[in-house]
Structure 1
């Protein structure tokens, strides 16, 4: 009986799937974004190194990344007036399955730090998720939850967040490709947060954040891709749309 229990426990923590990679990325803001944000949380192109991974079990799944933005720069970059400071950003998400249903207990934490300005914001989401894969192979994982924020400007409950991650793998011209999308919609955000955590003006209560990505998998070791990054009433800039292209090369470790 003890041996059977040990085997069952090992199976519980044996991943059904997993992946991990390290990537080099370059984010190129549009000229319009740089113009629109020049006086409110000014944006500047930057390079970042990312560590990313995930794993799925019989009872739940986890995903996370950690970014080092401008990794060769000082905490405060004097030549750019602080636009090119060394920064970090990290995120962990989880779906804890609710029995055999497609529903899950969803949680995520996103943490951003700008060391040159001693700026920090951590978003904490807790709610419900859903998981489905369609017959054509498209997978879709929406969620909705209550939001809380910890930051140097405001700490407390901060409305709600709804969103999803989705992806589709396909082959063409004897090559493997995939398309992915992550999207976050925040709403009902606290008035004090909207005043304290944005530059130059008070932001609207609804915020949009996400990216649409196209990936090429030339081998099991290498993935390269291009991402369209979009945001509105987020990233410290109130009432302005922001967009960029991200160019990425990943070294797949798992």
Structure 2
């Protein structure tokens, strides 16, 4: 009897699952700031699942397809919230890896607390605060080869979305955002500051069953190896499963 109760406690009831593949184009010169990095063709894929006891989201991106293989880069991300004692508070974890064939590789590891209580039919807002641990191949020449790996401050962030209809068409306005604070010295040197911002604001038009078009304003400050504020525009076509 006790074994059955423990088994039932571990069961996950799937509420929703979603996935898509996308292809598109980004231009570093088409935002509010002219970032001198040119055009980027890209492929992405994502998958997510929401359970009664938590949720999971993953993302893959292949960038700079208009360059030879040595000039391309890749992003792999996975994020989860696990509800605490069936409440709206959660244990939050995130892995975010960026792998560049020319520049450098790094893996961001976040672990902290989140909140899932602000969700409904019209949208959601899911904030979190987390410790930030870094694994990087960057070493500071100014600091005698000091590595950017290790404790890297903390992050305050969120994911959010608003679902609406306009002229009988379905749209989604979504935003992800991260504020990075108190970075370690070597990482701060690489990213041009002890603090930074990283995020994106996306408008998606679901114009046909399974098909979507999106436009993203990708913004950052002292991030992606850029000194100060920068941005780019991203245009994608996708298929939802």
TM-score of Structure 1 vs Structure 2, range by shorter chain: 0.7 to 0.9
Aligned-residue offset at 1:71: 3.3
Q: 1:192 aligns with which of 186, 194, 197?
A: 186
Aligned partner of 1:30 in structure 2 is 29
The counterpart of 1:156, out of the listed 133, 150, 154, is 150
TM-score, scaled to structure 1: 0.83
Instruction: String of CA shifts for 1:111-149, please: whole Å, max 9, x gaps.
Output: 0011134x1011000000011336782310000010010
> How far apart, CA to CA, are the structure 2 residues paired with 1:115 and 1:172?
43
Contact 2:26 2:235 survives alignment (8 Å): yes
Cα distance in 2 for partners of 1:170, 1:234 equals 32
- Unmatched 5+ residue regions in structure 1? 77-84
**CA deviation string 1:171-215 (max 9, x = no partner):** 1211111100000000011112212x34xxxx2211001011111
Which residue matches 1:211? 200
Could you tell me whether the CA contact under 8 Å between 2:30 and 2:232 is conserved in 1? no
Other-structure match for 1:249 = 237
Name the SS for the 1:204 alignment partner. coil
Q: Which runs of 5+ in 2 are unaligned?
A: 139-147
Cα RMSD after superposing both structures: 2.4
Q: 1:173 aligns with which of 152, 163, 167?
A: 167
| In 1, Cα distance between equivalents of 2:230 and 2:66 | 25
Alignment of structure 1 residues 1-254 onto 2, 5 Å: 8=8, 12-30=11-29, 38=36, 43-71=37-65, 73-76=67-70, 85-117=71-103, 119-133=104-118, 137-153=122-138, 154-195=148-189, 197-198=190-191, 203-238=192-227, 240-253=228-241
Distance 2:21 2:176 in 1: 19
Paired with 1:25 and 1:132, the residues of 2 have a C-alpha distance of: 33
Give 1:74 shift.
2.3
Give distance in 1, aligned partners of 2:168 and 2:31.
38
